[in-house]
Structures are given as structure tokens and as C-alpha cells.
A = this chain, B = another copy of it.
Amino acid sequence: MTLRQRVYAVLDSERLSPAARRLRAAEIIAILAGLTSVAAGTIDGLATGARALAAGATGVVATLFLVEYLIRLWVAPEAPHHSDVSDTRARLRWARSGEGIVDLLAVIPVIAVASGGPSSAPDSASMFVLLWVLKLAAHAPGVELIIRVVYNERRALGAVLVLFIIALLSAATLLHLAEEAGQPDEYGSIPASLWWAIVTLTTTGYGDVVPKTVFGRTVAGGVMVCGVAVLALLAGILATGFAEEVKRREFVRIWELVARVPFFAEVGAVAISDIVGRLRSRNYPSGAMILRRGTPGDAMYFIVSGEVEVRVGAQPVYLRDGAFFGEMALLDRRPRSADVVAVSACTLLILNVAEFYQIAGQQPALVQAIEAEAKRRHADNRTRSAPPVVDD
């Protein structure tokens, strides 16, 4: 593996390796530090020392982002969807992608810093915040999920927006008519009344502009109720959209993990598709206690990657990728009989008791396979005169 390949592997935002995760965390910390230093630089009464420190920190972060931009440009040809073009074209393509443009924008401050620094022009410096905030959005996990939900529900959200605009304009017009005589400064024109309308319709309610007439107050009451209704509609639409998108993603992600567990290869494809929707994945750091002896058994576990130690009897048993454990507690509903600890960082698939029994009805073959495997391991342990039962 060349250096460029190794660097790409760490920078790739889809990777789950510890190095890649640490880098993403560091990136977010750097962005937050940069944002803090720029924000601090705008405080007027700051001591000279503190101001120099803030300017320095801004400069350091900006330089880091420049270095990052150049590295990302260099490794761009390693991306799998760039494998069919030359290095130069791959880099151009990345530079023109959304990620490339955001990263380039985040570098702009470095030029401003080089040519005088933010201390000389604090106001323009504060614009950097907006560019780095963009970078934060691009690199933060989960933001993309929310964007997708909003995209999926764009019709319904658009309709709410139209209703919001209708309520806003109606409110501004009616209040303009009702309150113009008494408060010409606040409600003298429809655009002026819009400020009151949006403050009221979002139920923010600053109180800087308040209707005084009975008609104005009656309309205002209706506008507040509309504001509450708009919020409730938004919440309702997003709740529906969120539930659907999360379900869809989970399925694809789990499917890919299931494909790595050898045990499932023996079960038929249709049976697996039935199981996939019922599994949840979880990551454990090295040394984490996965199961504790004596606690109620409410799930069984499949190991996708990593190794666990089953502390049963005098001599612990080790299980690796593709093994499973915890099924005994599901089959006989008794407390856990052993501690299970992660020896290395692990990714596990969890099948909880509710789902297990629902599958049991529909896929008896799978439950039989689990029972057979448990019996086999049981016998195996005995002949090795190792601790007799491994199933937690």
C-alpha cells in the first residue's frame, strides 16, 4: 500500500478505522477552535496579549486547513469513483465537488491572515466564521441524514412554507390596517408590519412591537395560534420522514455487516433479509463489559469484527469474528451466566429477545441452526475439558 493510499484511507469520511475516526474528531476540534479564536478576536475591549493570541490561533487553524486542502487534493485520485480518470482530472473533479469547494472556501482566511491578519480588519475576519461553519456542516456526522430527510419531505415542507407565507402576509396586512393609526412607526406599511408578524408567528415575541387595538389583538391571538400550528405541522412531517429514512438506512448498513458474519452465509438469502431488519449494530471499545453475570438476558450478539472474552468458570473462552453468544439466555429466559468483555474494539450485531421470538415463528430453521451451533460448541468444550458452557 503506497503512502498516498494510506493517507487516503485515513482521510476518507466513510472509513470506520480508529485513525480515521480520530482524524474526524480532530478536524471538528480544529474548526471549533478556529471559530472560538475568530469570535474572541471581535471583542473590542480585549487586552493586546489576548488579541494577539486569538489572531495567532486563527492563523494556525487557517494554515492547518490549507495543508489539509493540499493533502486532500493530492490523494483525490485514490477515490474509487475516480479510478477511471487521470490524476489531474481526478483532482479537478474533487476540487469542483461540493466538498472541494467548501474546503477551498475555508482556506480563504489564510490569505487574509497572511496579508495583514484579522487584527487589522476584525469585521471582515468575522466573516471567516461563516466559511468555517460551512466546513463544520460538511464534516459533521449526521448532518447529511437531516438534509436527506428534508429533501425527501420537500413537498410537504414546501406546503408548510407556503402556509407560513400566507399567514405572515395576512397577519402583516391586517395589523397594518388595524394599528396604522395608533402606531404609525411600527405598523406604517406592510413591510414594516412584517417584522411584528414574523416575531409573533414564530412565537418568539420580543415585545418591541405590540398591538394595542382590540381588533389588532384579536388577529394577533389568531396569528399566535397559527404559529403553534405551523410548528406542530413541521414536527409532524419531520417525525414521519425521520422514522422512514432511519429505517431505510439501518437496513442497508446492517445488511453490509451481516454479509461479514460467516454464520449467516449458511442461512438462506430470504431468511437473512427477514433478520436484517431486526438487528442493531453497536461498537464497543477494547475492555468494555458487554454482558454482566446475573443481569437479565434480553438479547443475543453476533461478532462482526473484534474479539471477546467469555469469563465463565476457571478458564476464559475467546470468541472471534463470526461467532455469536448470549443465545442461552434467550432460549431459557434465565439471567446471564457469565461476564463477556471486549478484548479488542468490537462491532457486534444485537438481536433482542422481542425480535428473536418473532423470527422464531417465521424462520424455525434459523433458531434450529442457533441451537445446533450452541450444542456443538457445548460438546466441543466438554471434550477439550474446557469450561463447559460458553453461551454467557
Q: 8 Å CB contacts to B: which residues of A304-342?
A: 333, 335
Contact of A358 with B273 in the complex, beta carbons under 8 Å: yes
Query: Does the CB pair B155–A141 fall under 8 Å?
Result: yes
Interface status of A159 (Cβ within 8 A of chain B): yes
Chain A positions 208-249 with a Cβ under 8 Å from a chain B Cβ: 208, 210, 217, 220-221, 224-225, 227-243, 246-248
Q: How far is the CB of A105 from chain B (nearest CB, A)?
A: 14
Task: Assess A169 versus B44: contact at CB under 8 Å? Given A123-B180, A159-B142, A230-B228.
Answer: no
Residues of chain B within 8 A of A273, CB atoms compared: 354, 357-358, 360-361
Question: A241 with B231: in contact, given A162-B136, A162-B143 (CB under 8 Å)?
Answer: no
Binding-face segment, A106-114, A289-297, A368-376: A289-297
Chain B residues near A180: list those with CB within 8 A. Answer: 123
Q: Determine which of B162, B166, B199 lies in contact with A205 in the assembled complex, contact meaning CB atoms within 8 Å.
A: B199
Is A270 on the interface with B (CB-CB < 8 A)? Answer: yes
Please name all residues of chain B whose beta carbon is closer than 8 Å to the beta carbon of A202 when the two chains form the complex: 203, 224-225, 227-228
* Least distance between A262 CB and chain B CB atoms (Å): 16
Contact in complex: A158, B136 (CB < 8 Å): no
**Interface extent on A, as a size class?**
35 or more
Q: In the complex, are the beta carbons of A199 and B177 less than 8 A apart?
A: no
List CB contacts (< 8 Å) of A172-198 with chain B.
172-174, 176-177, 180, 184, 188-192, 194-195, 198
- Count identical subunits in the complex: 4
Contact assessment for A354 and B274 in the assembled complex, using a CB-CB cutoff below 8 Å? no
Which of chain B's residues have a CB closer than 8 A to the CB of A163? 137, 143, 146
- Chain B residue at smallest Cβ distance from A234: B232
Verify A274–B242 contact, CB threshold 8 A: no
Cβ-based interface call for A353 (8 A): yes
A234 adjacent to B228 (CB under 8 Å): yes
Known: A44-B189, A204-B204. 8 other contacts (CB 8 A): A43-B189, A43-B191, A126-B177, A199-B205, A231-B231, A237-B239, A243-B243, A251-B354
